[in-house]
Amino acid sequence: MRITVELPAGPEGAGQARRVLDELRVETPSETLSALELLVSEIVSNSPRHNDERATDWMLLEVQTSPKTIRTEITDLGVGTCRAPTPEEDLESAWDVVLLAELSSRWGILEGSMDGVWFEIDRWTRSSLGHLA
């Protein structure tokens, strides 16, 4: 399955992203889907901050599933000039990296871009397989 959607950056976009990810509910273990929803929500909510002169601030969410993994790319499509984050915002965005390291199987910055991130989550973990693992 492939999902591609543009979302507003921030909390509103995070909620929309979670609703879009519901399409994966039937074919994805709940533990895996919960991790995916949390990561997408955090990254969309804490997207790079732009100043008040921005025209739009949008994110592109792309999700590609395979039998073994779910690959997600989130790219900032914001228009406007970026401002340096406040110390509080900088501290909040550090949690994105902690969550990516903890909940994803692999992750990184999109090659050639400082405005995007990718991550993969293995669909079937030992705990989601239960007694079969």
Token duo for residue 18: 């979670």
Q: Name the residue with tokens 């079937």.
A: 124
Mean pLDDT of 74-93: 62
Secondary structure (3-state) at 30: helix
Output the 3-class SS for 67-122: CCEEEEEEEECCECCECCCCHHHHHHHHHHHHHHHHHCCEEEECCCCCCEEEEEEE
- Judged against a pLDDT cut of 80, whether residue 104 lies above it is answered with yes
- Judged against a pLDDT cut of 90, whether residue 120 lies above it is answered with yes
Q: Is 132 left (phi over 0), alpha (psi -120 to 50) or beta?
A: alpha
Q: Look up the CATH number of the domain holding residue 42.
A: 3.30.565.10
Q: Give residue 54's pLDDT.
A: 46
Q: Name the residue with tokens 């991550």.
A: 119
**Structural domain tally of the chain?**
1
% residues pLDDT > 90 (the chain): 55
- Judged against a pLDDT cut of 60, whether residue 53 lies above it is answered with no
Q: Which domain holds residue 112?
A: 2-132
CA pair distance 40, 17, nearest whole angstrom:
7
Closest CA to 90 of 118, 59, 48: 48
Between 10 and 63, where is the model more confident?
A: 63
Q: Give residue 90's pLDDT.
A: 56
Q: Give residue 123's pLDDT.
A: 87
Centroid of chain to Cα 131: 30
pTM of the model: 0.79
- Judged against a pLDDT cut of 50, whether residue 51 lies above it is answered with no
Q: Give residue 77's pLDDT.
A: 77
